Amino acid sequence: MTMQKLNEVSVRFVKGVGPAKSRLFMNLGIETIEDLLNFFPRRYEDRRHITPIAQVQLGEGQTIMGTVIRKASKKSWHTRKHVLDVIIDDKSGRMACTWFNQPYLEHYFKTGKTVVCYGKVDMYKNHLQMVSPEYEIIEAEQESLSLKRIVPIYPLTRGVTQRFLRKVIMSCIEDYQDSLEDELPVPIRNKYRLYNIKRSIENIHFPENFEDQENALKRISFEEFYFYQLSILLRRVNLKQKTGCAHTLSDSQVLNFVHAFSFELTSAQKRVIREIRADMAQPAPMLRLLQGDVGCGKTLVAFFGCYNAFINKKQSAIMAPTEILASQHYQNVQQMITSGVFGKMKVAFISSGLSRTEKETIHAQIHNGSIDIVIGTHALISEGVVFKDLSFAVIDEQHKFGVRQRSLLSQKGNNPDVLIMTATPIPRTLYISLYGDMDISVIDEMPPGRGNIRTELFRLEAQEQVYARIKQELKKGSQAYFVYPLIEESDKLDLKAAMGMYADFQKNIFKEYRVGLIHGRLSREETADVMRRFKAQEIDILVATTVVEVGVDVPNASVMVIEHAERFGLSQLHQLRGRIGRGGKDSLCLLVGDAKSPEGSKRLDAIVSTNDGFKIAQQDLMLRGPGHFFGRHQHGFSELKVANPATQLDLLALARKEALALSRSDPRLEKETNQGIREIILKRYPEYLKMVQAG
């Protein structure tokens, strides 16, 4: 068989796929055979041993298999939802599997069919129950890929079933595995006794035992770590060889900045400003991560960089992930400008919500240099934005952006200094391996005079108590946030949502108060208007979704209720809570929810017991792993598909060691023997091509 480039062959040539199915595969990000082979299971089910229903453990995720003996559907009088109960019998016992508002499933579970269900088992009214389990109808006993083995479970899309994927991936492995090219250098593979690529791909999909699966995972993770590390290290070497603006600032200019504020800067802010000043003075571009808990005063530090650029007659930019946050920065910066010594500075705001003429005017002003600071959302990196001379760029809440967006912003200037800000700090060991291309500054101190935040946990049944507590606080003149996980009530989930509760509050529970609503589907004008009224204390209660997670700064709002708190990540809860406690008085955060798992209850315990963002981030990372912690697709290392820096730290260290050795011996990958690796890096990290070439 001739070697084929698997990243050039469309997946529709795989047996059983064809044009129609290949279009569905697009939804899973699979276009080529290479993509399909690298579409890894999200977990495995050990169907060599299926738990008899009589032996299931309560509260744990488990797989059962049995026959559909009965089903019943009804409308719940309580939540007005359609409820489907399917009773499954496996001779050892019976399990009720329950789905809400999915009436079409009724036809799917025909009596007499064999089904496999995976889910958490609860006890409900004296019988065993799984709510919304994953399910699979087993057509024929002897189906070899789905039974009596370790079975891969893939992420799905409409029209693509587990069984179909398994069949197609198996036949793809059989037909194309000889064309797989091993990208990991042989000496490294031998040194660490890693599987070759063929064996790894086979065993990551269809392992015969978990040891093989672990070895496959180890090899694939090592490879991901290795090339990722290499790209970072090369990137840093190349970055530091470039020439950007060497900003100069006199001591008296620094003092002017510091004295422009009505308050004293914290010593952490002063230290970080010194670090940034020194770094910006170098001709080599700065790439610096600024870590600091919510409310510690990072904006001011970012603004210092803008000021520095302005003094050096250059432009600066601040990019934030949401419109609310960007406009908040805009207002803050405007305030700093009008109240301070920066009178001549001109600042503009851009977002996708601007009209065409507004956009054109601002774009022209950015281009001709009459605007000094541009603050905005993703709209900042759109093509139409061309700076006259950008020398300093800030990215706020870095975990919401990817590497690509970051480098797009940098490319708007001539090797500008870049400051990346985050309120979700990570442990030092991890940061070195993940963000090893950056320098780091930390603000580990809060401005004085902040009130305390008290956090309390309530169960769902105690809802009335929560409302009563809030009324007490409102009577004292506070304003309150109510945060919900959803905008609107959903079919699939039995959860309260912002829109419904907003109506309910107005009509019933809080009818004597002024209630506002904010969520991601409002227009820019509506959002701005609601936020303005809340700030002006024309709204007492703001019903919200997580759009208020970052940046919102309303000091008089000192009470927050987070409903269904178990549905939020730990860092997210901490960010949300950071919206209160911004004024001088003490604040109150009430979490309402019931942990659905041991992990969930650890999360809620952690958030109640500490206000320290660094501790919380560590805990979060431990509990969830970095994939979820950073958001799989948005963090800077989404190139890591299976490798997990939190759980595979040792492997990461080895890969880093190898990458470091190579980057030292051949920092620009110019040696003849390294051309293969160079090609792989350019294939996997196309955005680094520009970096390397431009140097």
**Residue numbers at the binding site for Mg ion (CB under 5 A):** 298
User: Between residues 425 and 626, which has the closer beta carbon with respect to ligand ADP?
Assistant: 425
Tell whether residue 336 is a contact of ligand ADP (CB under 6 A). Answer: no
DSSP one-letter code for 104 = T
**Least spacing, CB of residue 299 vs Mg ion, in Å:** 5
Min dist CB 262 to ligand ADP, Å, is 8
Instruction: Return d(Cα 544, Cα 518) in angstroms, integer.
Output: 5
Residue 377 CB, nearest distance to ligand ADP (Å)? 16
One-character DSSP codes across 235-251: HHHHHHTS--------H
**From Mg ion, ligand ADP, none, interface partner of 294 (C-beta below 5 to 8 A by class):** ligand ADP
Judged by CB under 6 A, the residue of 298, 314, 579, 656 near ligand ADP is: 298
Strands (E), 76-133: 82-89, 94-100, 114-124, 127-131
Does 397 help bind ligand ADP (rule: CB under 6 A)? no
Residue 553 binding partner per list ligand ADP, Mg ion, none, with a CB distance cut-off of 5 to 8 Å that depends on partner kind: ligand ADP
Place of tokens 């003075």: 281
Q: Between 16 and 35, how does the x/- string for binding to ligand ADP read (CB under 6 A)?
A: --------------------
Rounded to whole angstroms, the Cα distance separating 14 from 36 reads 10
Which residues have C-beta within 8 Å of that of residue 344, sequence separation ≥ 6? none
Give the residue with the Cβ less far from Mg ion, 168 or 443.
443
Going by C-alpha positions, the residue among 70, 65, 105 that lies closest to residue 86 is 70
> Which value, in Å, is the radius of gyration of the alpha carbons in the chain?
28
First-to-last alpha carbon distance for the chain, in angstroms, is 42
* Strand, helix or coil for residue 151: strand
Q: Are 277 and 311 in contact (CB under 8 A)?
A: no
Which residue, 23 or 274, is less far from ligand ADP as judged by CB?
Answer: 274
State the CB neighbour count (10 A cutoff) for residue 488.
Answer: 12
Q: Is 339 in the site for ligand ADP (CB under 6 A)?
A: no
Question: Shortest distance, CB of residue 17 to Mg ion, whole angstroms?
Answer: 47
Give me the least distance between CB of 292 and ligand ADP, in Å please.
5
101/608 Cα distance (integer angstroms):
34
Residue 395 near ligand ADP by CB under 6 A: no
Pairing type for strands 127-131 and 347-350 reads unpaired
CB 295, min distance to ligand ADP, A:
5
210 binds ligand ADP (CB under 6 A): no
CB closer to ligand ADP, 294 vs 531: 294
d(CA 347, CA 340): 14
Residue 292 contact partner, candidates ligand ADP, Mg ion, none, CB within 5 to 8 A by sort of partner: ligand ADP
Asked whether the beta carbons of 542 and 481 are under 8 A apart, the reply is: yes
Give the total of residues touching ligand ADP (CB under 6 A).
Answer: 15
| 587 touches ligand ADP (CB under 6 A) | no
| CA atoms lying within 13 Å on the CB side of residue 557 | 27
Determine, following the binding rule CB under 6 A, whether residue 447 of this chain makes contact with ligand ADP: yes
Cβ distance to Mg ion smaller for residue 419 or 501: 419
Q: Which of 446, 447, 458, 505 is closest to 480 using CA atoms?
A: 505
Task: Tell me the window of 297-305, 385-393, 409-417, 501-509 that interacts with ligand ADP (CB under 6 A).
Answer: 297-305
Binding partner selected for residue 297 from Mg ion, ligand ADP, none, CB under the kind-specific 5 to 8 Å limit: ligand ADP
- Give yes or no for residue 300 binding ligand ADP (CB under 6 A): yes
Smallest distance, ligand ADP to C-beta of residue 124, A: 43
Helix and strand element counts for the chain (H, E): 23, 21
**Binding positions for ligand ADP, 398-427, rule CB under 6 A:** 423
x/- contact string, 527-556, with ligand ADP (CB under 6 A)? Answer: --------------------------x---
* CA dihedral sign, ordered 563, 568, 571, 576: negative
CA–CA dist 300, 332 (Å, integer): 9
Q: 17 vs 326, which CB is nearer to Mg ion?
A: 326
- Kindly tell me which residue out of 244, 295, 485, 516 binds ligand ADP, with binding defined by CB under 6 A: 295
Provide, rounded to whole angstroms, the least separation between the CB of residue 126 and ligand ADP: 50
Q: Is 220 in the site for ligand ADP (CB under 6 A)?
A: no
Q: What is the distance, to the nearest Å, from the Cα of residue 363 to the centroid of all Cα atoms in its chain?
A: 31
Give the Cβ contact number of residue 456 at 10 Å: 12
Work out how close the CB of 399 gets to ligand ADP at its nearest, in angstroms, rounded to a whole number: 14
Q: Looking only at residues 243 through 262 of this chain, which bind ligand ADP when binding is defined by CB under 6 A?
A: none
**Burial code of 168-191, b = ≥16 C-beta within 10 A, e = fewer?**
bbbebbeebeebbeeebbeebbee
| Closer Cβ to ligand ADP, 280 or 446, answer by number | 446
Does 297 participate in binding ligand ADP (rule CB under 6 A)?
A: yes
- For residue 446, the minimal CB distance to ligand ADP (Å) is 9
* 87 in contact with ligand ADP (CB under 6 A): no
- CB 337, min distance to Mg ion, A: 18
CB atoms < 10 A from the CB of 133, how many?
23
Among candidate residues 595, 592, 587, the one with its CA nearest the CA of residue 466: 592
Q: Could you tell which of Mg ion, ligand ADP, none binds residue 269, using a CB distance below 5 to 8 A set by kind? A: ligand ADP
Torsion of CA 462, 464, 470, 475, to 10 degrees: -150
List phi, psi (to 5°) of 560. -140, 135
* Alpha carbon 237 to its chain's center: 28
What values do phi and psi take at 639, rounded to 5? Answer: -65, -20
What phi and psi values does residue 131 have, to the nearest 5 degrees?
-100, 130
Q: Which position has the token pair 């037909």?
A: 175
Token look-up 């010194």 returns 274
Dihedrals φ, ψ of 377, to 5°? Answer: -95, -155
Residue from 119, 152, 244, 292 binding ligand ADP (CB under 6 A): 292
546 binds, among ligand ADP, Mg ion, none (CB under 5 to 8 A by kind): none
Helix (H, G, I), strand (E, B) or coil at 291: strand
User: Min. distance of Cβ 462 from ligand ADP in angstroms?
Assistant: 31
DSSP per-residue string spanning 185-228: -HHHHHHTTPPPHHHHHHHHHS-SSHHHHHHHHHHHHHHHHHHH
470 binds, among Mg ion, ligand ADP, none (CB under 5 to 8 A by kind): none
Residue 133 contact among Mg ion, ligand ADP, none, beta carbon within 5 to 8 Å by kind: none
Distance CA 353, CA 359 (A): 9
CB of 396 to Mg ion, least distance (A): 6
Mark residues 620-659: x for contact with ligand ADP by CB under 6 A, - for none: ----------------------------------------
Least Å distance between CB 320 and Mg ion?
8
300 binds, among ligand ADP, Mg ion, none (CB under 5 to 8 A by kind): ligand ADP
265 binding ligand ADP? (CB under 6 A): yes
Among positions 62, 200, 269, 327, the unique one binding ligand ADP when judged by CB under 6 A: 269
Binding site for ligand ADP (CB under 6 A): 263, 265-266, 269, 292, 294-300, 423, 447, 553
